[in-house]
Structure 1
């Protein structure tokens, strides 16, 4: 397992950096591709729903929920 990687995203016209482990970046991109969405759009949707959680944590939880069986 590699250490976290920082990537820039554009949310609502503003640049921000998010730090995730490579495995989460890969899974996040797979979800975006599966949904036919740009990664920035998916991140913006998660951002709009995240409440008080930081964006990196909200993305990790989103990925986990998508890959866990119901």
Structure 2
């Protein structure tokens, strides 16, 4: 497992985008989506809609993952 970010593709509201996330965050993000019975693109779109525009999507996903596991 690498600590280096890897670029991954997502589709948000019909538009392709990419985020660079470390493997551990990507796996946790996928696990959260599965636990919530949501496609990963839907969860990413929800996070995208809730984030401040001065915060990058990858950072918003990392914070979402951290918050999720802090609460559980």
- Measured against the shorter chain, the TM-score band is over 0.9
Q: What is the CA–CA distance in structure 2 between the aligned matches of 1:49 and 1:69, rounded to whole Å? A: 18
Secondary structure, counterpart of 1:37 in structure 2: coil
Cross-structure match for 1:38 = 39
Q: What is the CA–CA distance in structure 2 between the aligned matches of 1:32 and 1:62, rounded to whole Å? A: 11
Cross-structure match for 2:64 = 62
Aligned-residue Cα RMSD (Å) equals: 1.2
Deviations for 1:9-64, whole angstroms, at most 9, x for unmatched residues?
00010000100000000000000000000000000000000012100000000000
Where has structure 1 moved over 3 Å in runs of 4 or more?
A: none
Cross-structure match for 1:18 = 19
**Structure 1 residues not aligned, in runs of 5+:** none
